[in-house]
Amino acid sequence: MKHLEPAAPARPIAPLLAAAAAVLYLALSLPQAQRPFLGDEVDFVKLARALVERGSHQYDRGFIDDVTETGAIQTWTYHPPLYMWALGLSFRLFGGSEPAARGLGIFCGLVSLALTFLIARAVCGRSPHRDVVAAAAVALCAINPFFLQSSLLVDIDGTVYTVLLLLFVYGALRLEEARELPRAAALATIFIACLWAKMTTAIAFPVVLAVYDVARGRRSRAAFDVLVVGACGVSLFLALYAWYASAMGLDFASLFVHLGRSRPGKAALVLKSFVWFAPVLPLLVKRLRGPTRVGLVVAMIACAGGVALVERYRSLASEAAVSLWLIVAPFCSPLLLLLLYGVFAQGLTRWRRAGADPIDLPLASCVAIFISYAGVTTRGPTFSYYQAPAMPLLAVVVAHFLLADGTTFWRERRARILSVVAVAGAIAYGYFVLGDSYFLSKRQPPASPGSDLFAVLASPWIGGASPGNQSVPLGVLWYLLTALPVAAVAFAAGRAPAGSRWMHAGAVAAGLTLALSIKQAQAGYQTNINYGHPVEPTREMVRFLNQQEIIRGYFLAGREFSHYVAAGQFIDMTRYTGGYRHRTRPALSQKGELTFEVDDGGGPPDELPRGPIHFAIGDYPLLDQAGTYEVLKEVGGLKLYRFRGARGSVPPSTASPRRFVVDRAAPRRSPAIVSSYRLASVRRRSAW
């Protein structure tokens, strides 16, 4: 019997580097933990409070025109409640502040980094370089703005969902040699926990695991994974959720309504899916030969192009450019995906000769996450934050590609010096030259695009870009500028081996991502959702409203003001733009008061108040033109409107009561729930 050689002793410096990367992650994320809640984050905060304080899925949503309800108080059941219960527990332990909410995501980020380290070690087997690979993977992930900003969001995907999906991948690798039944039971348990967080990407993971098993020559295990881990896991989850829904008085079927809401365009879905599917094509068709393989590749390319042409010919140029060029770089992470494609180039001969290796499981899982949300619309060269769980897996794949072959890169003095210079130069170049002006151009006015050199070079495009969108030429320019340091490093590397040249490219990518993470940590604006949305105007407006107590009755505003303002009845500002179902239209009454016209379309009547709205917070052109509304305060483009006839004429007693709508499938609850909203608002007033 051939004995395995003992593994080389671990290098002490590698775990220390991983720990240093985790500390750097904390240093970059903690300064951003106090940013106020914005948009959808408020829904998670309100639901978490409702769960731990009242044991209810109902809270004030401001008459938002959603799938099934239109009243003020609605039942939120879009996703299973694991994250919301965890967030509520964080509020119970640490209070209801922003750091308590974002601190949960930061904690999940640290756990994700630990799992990244373990997964990287697992895919390396007994290689003496496994600790170095693991430390590099942690470093690549920790400094990446896509991972960092997603973990700071008060949302599911970048927090508990990332942890659970990574745990599933690590469990599959760690238990690869275990007995079938205990292994399947453990993976099914993790899989059920993933479904309790979100019923989206996780559903594909048993299939990914089965494909990996087939590529490893274990067809019986593949069938076992599909049936026991997949089918039995889904069945047990549905049974548990049915019990939970019955205990909480929820409609069981409402959980699945949200899954049918998204209808992405076929062209965007096919084009983006092909971008991510193309690299794994050799793994899936490795047994095909000659014309069959070529024909399959040509057919996929023709399918992608054909669907795009049929779907929307007039916008093909811009859509193809965004899908096939701008989208190939992760959010604020130019060049990193190029390293991923290098992994496939390196693995072509290996897959044809020996099938899949352990590294191919995180690789296939990473691609599955990207494909599952390929059709989600994003502005500019960004991935949706739904794809955040893929970043740690991508970091593992890239680190394995760079370091697992035992290259002598670090033994060469010239290479070490060049790598250090490349990192330092990339940080300076990314911070002072590239910056984040391209992303700021999506939201901020052209007058203040940013302070970096790119803002000066691209000022003609930034000034001419339409609000809310970045131009394709602007994005091309930004990515061409990111290619400059790569070209410089490639020239300096000269005739160095290919492995060393890839290492230098990785150093440049790491420097650029770290520079942008530093830039975002210092920013006074949002750097994830609503990029460029200023932070201080929201805080100042909330302080003003709570001190003056101006608002009476209904007021139109963004969701963040419903959380922080302790007066009036909130109406979600999406009603002004038509609502999610495009059934409402703002109008002015004969007196010049803001009202809403609603098209019920023959369905259940919309519960949106038809009465006048005398107060509004935001920027509403209709009110600017009306002449019947005055702007009491304006800060950073944020305006407080008040109907001129409402000055001092609306006593507190006339403030409209908060109506409580009871779901037919839910048990009746005490009206005391309604008064708890007022109490919670008063408590929040003291925070600012």
pLDDT tens digits, one per residue of 603-654: 678 888 878 999 999 999 999 998 899 999 999 889 999 999 775 434 333 3
Find out whether 144 and 517 touch, Cβ atoms under 8 Å: yes
Closest by CA to 375, choosing from 299, 300, 311, is 311
Q: Is 630 helix (H, G, I), strand (E, B) or coil?
A: strand
d(CA 275, CA 277): 6
> Whole-angstrom Cα distance, residue 530 to residue 524?
13
Tokens of 67: 């799938």
How much is the pLDDT for 235? 95
> What is the pLDDT averaged over residues 304-333?
41
Determine the pLDDT at residue 611: 81
Please write the tens of the pLDDT for every residue from 194-238.
999 999 889 999 999 998 898 888 888 999 899 999 999 999 999
Per-residue pLDDT reduced to its tens digit, 544-597 = 999 888 888 899 999 999 999 888 889 999 999 887 778 889 999 999 999 998
Side chain identity at residue 70, one-letter code = T
Cβ contact 458:478 at 8 Å? yes
Dihedral sign, Cα of residue 236, residue 238, residue 240, residue 243: negative
pLDDT at 135 over 50: yes
State how far the Cα of 259 lies from the Cα of 509, in Å rounded to an integer: 36
Strand partners, 73: 60
Left (φ > 0), alpha (ψ -120 to 50) or beta: where does 152 sit?
A: alpha
Contact between 240 and 60 (Cβ < 8 Å)? no
Q: Strand order of the sheet with strand 615-618?
A: 569-572, 554-557, 615-618, 638-643, 629-635
The strand pair at 594-598 and 584-588 is best described as: antiparallel
Q: Provide the 10 A C-beta neighbour count for residue 354.
A: 11
Report the interhelical angle of 98-124 vs 13-29 (nearest 10°).
160
Of 65, 228, 26, the residue nearest 574 (C-alpha): 65
Q: What share of the chain is helix, strand, coil (3-state, %, to 5)?
A: 60, 5, 30
DSSP 592: S
Helix extents (H) in 143-265: 145-152, 162-174, 180-197, 205-215, 219-224, 233-248, 254-257
| % of the chain exceeding 70 in pLDDT | 68
Q: How far apart are CA 354 and CA 358, in angstroms?
A: 12
DSSP, res 467: T
DSSP letter for each residue of 527-546: SBTBTT-BSHHHHHHHHHHH
CA distances from 178 to 125, 174, 185, 244, 336 (A): 15, 8, 11, 33, 34
Q: Look at residue 8 and tell me whether its pLDDT is greater than 90.
A: no
Q: What global pTM score does this model have? A: 0.83
B/e letters for 250-283, b = 16+ CB within 10 Å, e = fewer, are beeebbeebeeeeeebebbbbbbbbbbbbbbebb
pLDDT band at 169 (very low <50, low <70, confident <90, very high): very high
Amino acid at 365: S
For residue 627, give both structure tokens.
């002449």
Q: Is residue 503 packed enough to be buried (19+ CB in 10 Å), middle (13-18) or exposed (0-12)?
A: buried
- Distance between CA atoms of 77 and 351, rounded to whole angstroms? 44
Q: Which residue has the tokens 């890239």?
A: 398
Position 399 confidence tier, pLDDT thresholds 50, 70, 90: confident
State the sign of the Cα–Cα–Cα–Cα dihedral 16, 19, 21, 26. negative
Cα–Cα distances (Å) from 157 to 90, 192, 463, 568, 581, in that order, read 17, 16, 34, 33, 25
Lowest-pLDDT choice from 35-39, 56-60, 350-354, 601-605: 350-354
How far apart, in Å, are the Cα atoms of 280 and each of 212, 285, 286, 367, 620?
Answer: 12, 9, 10, 8, 48
